[in-house]
Amino acid sequence: MVSLLWLIPALPLAGFVLLLLLGKRIGEPFSGWIGTATVAGSFVTALVVFAGLWNEPEHTYSLTLFGWMAAGRFSVDIGFLLDPLSMAMILFITGIAALIHLYSIGYMHGDSRFPRFFTYLNLFVFSMLMLVMGDNLVLTFLGWEGVGACSYFLISFWFEKDANASAGKKAFITNRVGDWGFMVGTFAVFFAFGTVKYVEFLPNASGLAQTTATFIILMLFIGAMGKSAQIPLFIWLPDAMAGPTPVSALIHAATMVTAGVYLMVRVNPIIAASASWLPWVIAGIGVATAFLAATIAIAQTDIKKVLAYSTVSQLGYMFLAVGVGGYSAAVFHMITHAFFKACMFLGSGSVIHGMSDEQDMRRMGALRKVMPITAITFIIGWLAIAGVPPFSGFWSKDDILAYALHKSVVLYVIGLITALLTAFYMSRQVFMVFYGKANWGESHGAELANKLAHETASADGDGHVDEAGDAHVGAHADDHAGHSVHPHESPRTMTIPLIVLAFFAAIAGLLNLPFTENLEFLNRWLEPVVGATQTKLHLSGGQLAFELITSSVVALLGISIAYAVYLKHKVDARKIELPLFANGWYIDSTITNFMGGLGRKGFELIAMFDKVVIDGAVNGVARATRGGAMRLRTVQSGYVRWYALMIGVGAVVIVAFVLSQVSFS
Amino acid sequence: MSPNLPLAYLALSAILFAIGGVGLLVRRNPLVMIMCVELMLNAVNLTFVTFGKMLDDISGQVIVFFVMVVAAAEVVIGLALIVALARRRPDANADDLRLLRG
């Protein structure tokens, strides 16, 4: 059964090829059903393989299909490594991807490039599966680049609008910075071990020189920072929301952005062999990202931007878990996050769909009455991410915080503050969208449109570079000024995935309950991969109770503050939504200003250097050669007697030289 | 054979060589220039023979045959060029033929 493994990526690949060649002819909606069927087929295969994997020794199985490239000592195979880690990834990737494909049939209904969308989605699922299943770094890199390319295609799927196209470019270029790190890391691995195959080098990691291990991990971590949107490479993810919402849910929340976390967990033996400060760097960047993104999410008004920054923040938690040695906690949070964030993104898509492409939360409100299913599923996702027991996010976040406390109190406290902020901004979103009074409809439409148009104009004047969001608000202010919006519940292809995801978002905590060892299924399942290097936690009942109660209190506190501010209006929201947060700590505009001002001067200086020194050297040599030749060519006078004389003189000189060297003794 | 006789031959060949060289440099008639070259070649031949005799080494005389073969080949090409030139530009001298100057 387990040898069916190759079918898992093969099915989406087949779907991709079929849709690529015949997509236009198949058309809507069958191309969508084909895309969904292939991914659902992968999911079923994954379940079968999962059942088979139980009987394998150490739950590990590898399959080599064929040799890919060989050059001297370097050889790469197309081969799959199935172990508890990749199995866990495969299951949730294919499962969630199948649901999101189904959802997309409803969401993309009527789009002129409907088949193309599913072509890309299938290619993405194939690449993502190659990433997690590849048995060597190069194959993982193939998947890594594949998902990056698909992400680019799908962010700028509606490329007619400039903002979308440039958001795609931004994502691609930012990711390239990370990819550089991945490549250098791969080279370093080959240099150190002579192989790039996981099963061949990971067991030998403990024999590695500490400096080498540190270098490898630093480089791979740069790759992970790019793909998983960590400081300073997180700037692309919020703009990636320009893509269709199912893309945001699948690629920019549930699966692709977790690739960096996967990579870090995969190479955990090398992390164990590296310098002791390195985990601090990873944990520090993770917790800083979590905190920073959470503060930005507080003040966003675009429904998808809040979720985007929240994703960045949750990914920060996962890196915190990696840094403090809680690999299974990172994977646990990755899985629960995939469920609740996919659920909420799809929920926001449902809202956007129902509101006729409105994304501004200030123009929503009281939607729970008109969109009951969306509202209930979204609320479950909210409770999960806010960390309310017994929803899944509570358990996974608490697991990470327990490891963080074991490492350092500072990390724990920042993690807790971030949890408070998370509960706050997610509650804010839910209250603004589903509760309160309705801000849509005829009377509000015109009034708010004027206000927004005004604000947009002034925001642009500030040199604010957030084009995707603002352009959107501006466009909609014009669109909706005249007519009213009639929100409605979405079709069944969209609500069924929502219900399934909400169900898992509620119960996924059962995977790894911290009460007894027997309940920690995920921990035990991942034991063969991370067991040797994972930090051992032995919490007493009191410690566990303290942590669980603290987390619950923090979550409820965040929700109550949001309740007081956004439903009871006891505090002016503008006191909390600081411009600093709304503008993302001015990171984007700082980069733009730097690149436009000082950076540009720097580039001009470099261009000048290029022109004067480099070009000068090249052209100088050419000019000198030319000048010399102009003078030398007069030697060729064309007079035969002149040549004869030169031959004679030359002969005399040579003979004289030889005579001077030879001694006749 | 008087001991100074070989030196006389060498002196003669040096004189012939110098006449040929100066002729090559100062004359402009291509035919005369080729004759000067021949004169120089034969001056060298005379030197070879003299040295072969002086040093009692046959190879000095052997080389002369090689030089004569080369000279014959050279004359063939040179005369062919001169004939071709004379047909095209009957009154041209060597200095007029400098189209390939730099």
CATH number, residue B38: 1.10.287.3510
Separation of alpha carbons A328 and A272, rounded Å: 15
Name the pLDDT band for B92 (thresholds 50, 70, 90): confident
Q: Is the pTM of this model over 0.90?
A: no
What token pair was written down for A168?
Answer: 């795609």
Asked whether the beta carbons of A508 and A392 are under 8 A apart, the reply is yes
Chain B interface includes A66 (CB < 8 A): no
Query: Would you tell me how many other CB atoms lie within 10 Å of the CB of residue A546?
Result: 13
What is the pLDDT at residue A582?
82
A319-to-A294, A405, A525, A534 alpha-carbon distances in Å: 15, 15, 20, 14
Residues of B in contact with A637 (CB under 8 A): 98, 101-102
Q: Do A635 and B33 touch (CB under 8 A)?
A: no
- Dump the DSSP string for A504-567: HHHHGGGGB-SSSGGGBHHHHHHHHHHTTTSPP----HHHHHHHHHHHHHHHHHHHHHHIIIII
What is the pLDDT at residue A463?
39
Q: How many contacts, defined by CB atoms under 8 Å, are there between A and B?
A: 34
What is the pLDDT at residue A442?
57
Separation of alpha carbons A283 and A288, rounded Å: 8
What token pair was written down for A389?
Answer: 């027991």
**Mean pLDDT throughout A541-562?**
91
Of A633, A639, A645, the CB nearest to B98: A639
Query: Would you tell me how many other CB atoms lie within 10 Å of the CB of residue A62?
Result: 17
Note the pLDDT tens digit of each residue in A309-337: 999 999 999 999 999 999 999 999 999 99
Apex A173 CA angle, A169 and A174, nearest 5: 115
B96 belongs to a structural domain: no
Note the pLDDT tens digit of each residue in A235-274: 899 888 988 999 999 988 889 999 999 999 999 999 999 9
B101 belongs to a structural domain: no
Answer whether residue B10 shows pLDDT above 80. yes
What is the pLDDT at residue A465?
40
Name the pLDDT band for B93 (thresholds 50, 70, 90): confident
Chain B interface includes A648 (CB < 8 A): yes
Which of A146, A138, A139, A127 lies closest to A13 in space, CA to CA? A127
What is the pLDDT at residue B1?
56
Note the pLDDT tens digit of each residue in A169-196: 999 999 999 999 999 999 999 999 999 9
What is the pLDDT at residue B48?
94
Answer whether residue A459 shows pLDDT above 50. no
Q: Do B21 and A640 touch (CB under 8 A)?
A: no
Name the pLDDT band for A482 (thresholds 50, 70, 90): very low
**Mean pLDDT throughout A215-238?**
92
Percent of chain A with pLDDT over 70: 93
What token pair was written down for A409?
Answer: 């109190």
Answer whether residue B12 shows pLDDT above 60. yes
Percent of chain A with pLDDT over 90: 57
Note the pLDDT tens digit of each residue in A616-658: 999 999 999 999 999 988 888 888 888 889 999 999 999 999 9
Q: Do B94 and A634 touch (CB under 8 A)?
A: no
**Mean pLDDT throughout B92-97?**
82
B82 belongs to a structural domain: yes
Burial of A233 (0-12, 13-18, 19+ CB in 10 A): buried
Which of A625, A530, A654 lies closest to A88 in space, CA to CA? A530
Chain A residue with minimal CA distance to B96? A639
The whole-angstrom distance between A644's CA and the closest CA on chain B is: 7
What is the pLDDT at residue A599?
85
The whole-angstrom distance between B33's CA and the closest CA on chain A is: 9
Residues of A in contact with B26 (CB under 8 A): 641
Apex A254 CA angle, A251 and A256, nearest 5: 45
Asked whether the beta carbons of A429 and A563 are under 8 A apart, the reply is no
Answer whether residue B41 shows pLDDT above 70. yes
Q: Do B24 and A638 touch (CB under 8 A)?
A: no
Q: Which residues contact A461 (CB under 8 A, 6 or more apart)?
A: none
Separation of alpha carbons A620 and A514, rounded Å: 73
Asked whether the beta carbons of A365 and A484 are under 8 A apart, the reply is no
Residue of A87 and A570 predicted with greater confidence: A87
Answer whether residue A458 shows pLDDT above 70. no
- Residues of chain B whose beta carbon is less than 8 angstroms from a beta carbon of chain A are 21, 24-26, 33, 94-95, 97-102
A153-to-A35, A114, A148, A177 alpha-carbon distances in Å: 17, 14, 9, 18
Answer whether residue A424 shows pLDDT above 90. yes
Domain residue limits at B23:
5-91
B98 belongs to a structural domain: no
Of A249-253, A582-586, B38-42, the poorest mean pLDDT is in A582-586
Query: Collapsing DSSP states into helix, strand and coil, what is residue A299?
Result: coil
Residues of B in contact with A640 (CB under 8 A): 33, 94-95, 97
- Dump the DSSP string for A364-414: ---TTTT-HHHHHHHHHHHHHHHT-TTSHHHHHHHHHHHHHHHH-HHHHHH
What is the pLDDT at residue A640?
85
Of A474-478, A505-509, A540-544, the poorest mean pLDDT is in A474-478
Which of A129, A125, A173 lies closest to A152 in space, CA to CA? A173
Of A200-204, A298-302, A381-385, B93-97, the poorest mean pLDDT is in B93-97
Chain A residue with minimal CA distance to B33? A641
Separation of alpha carbons A411 and A66, rounded Å: 46
B11 belongs to a structural domain: yes
B58 belongs to a structural domain: yes
What is the pLDDT at residue A461?
41
Name the pLDDT band for B98 (thresholds 50, 70, 90): confident
B40 belongs to a structural domain: yes
Q: Do A634 and B100 touch (CB under 8 A)?
A: no
What is the pLDDT at residue A454?
56
Which of A84, A409, A94 lies closest to A262 in space, CA to CA? A84
Answer whether residue A53 shows pLDDT above 80. yes
**Mean pLDDT throughout A28-41?**
91
Which runs of consecutive H residues, i.e. helices, occur in A274-326? 278-298, 303-323
For chain B, what is the domain count? 1
The whole-angstrom distance between B30's CA and the closest CA on chain A is: 10
The whole-angstrom distance between B39's CA and the closest CA on chain A is: 15
Positive or negative CA dihedral for A263, A264, A268, A269? positive
**Mean pLDDT throughout A423-446?**
81
Structure-token match 């002579």, residue found: A194
Q: Do A645 and B25 touch (CB under 8 A)?
A: yes
What is the pLDDT at residue B2?
67
Positive or negative CA dihedral for A368, A372, A373, A374? negative
Q: Do A636 and B95 touch (CB under 8 A)?
A: no
What is the pLDDT at residue A473?
42
Answer whether residue A474 shows pLDDT above 50. no
The whole-angstrom distance between A634's CA and the closest CA on chain B is: 6
Name the pLDDT band for A446 (thresholds 50, 70, 90): low
Chain B residue with minimal CA distance to A641? B25
Q: Which residues contact A283 (CB under 8 A, 6 or more apart)?
A: A319, A320, A322, A323, A324, A404, A407, A411
Of A634, A638, A644, the CB nearest to B25: A644
Asked whether the beta carbons of A558 and A386 are under 8 A apart, the reply is yes
Query: Residues A498-507, buried b or exposed e (16+ Cβ, 10 A)?
Result: bebbbebbbe
Separation of alpha carbons A573 and A104, rounded Å: 35
Of A239-248, A482-491, A532-541, the poorest mean pLDDT is in A482-491
Name the pLDDT band for A566 (thresholds 50, 70, 90): confident
Chain B residue with minimal CA distance to A634? B102
One-letter amino acid at A421 equals L
- Asked if residue A29 has a cis previous peptide bond (ω within 30° of 0), the answer is yes
What is the CB-side half-sphere exposure of residue A545 using CA atoms within 13 A? 3
Chain B interface includes A634 (CB < 8 A): yes
Helices A392-407 and A327-354 sit at what angle, rounded to 10 degrees?
Answer: 140
Answer whether residue A443 shows pLDDT above 60. no
Q: Do A636 and B102 touch (CB under 8 A)?
A: yes
What token pair was written down for B75?
Answer: 């004359």
Residues of B in contact with A635 (CB under 8 A): 102
B99 belongs to a structural domain: no
The whole-angstrom distance between B19's CA and the closest CA on chain A is: 14
Average model confidence (pLDDT) across chain A: 88
Q: Do A636 and B101 touch (CB under 8 A)?
A: yes
Which of A474, A462, A560 lies closest to A302 in space, CA to CA? A474
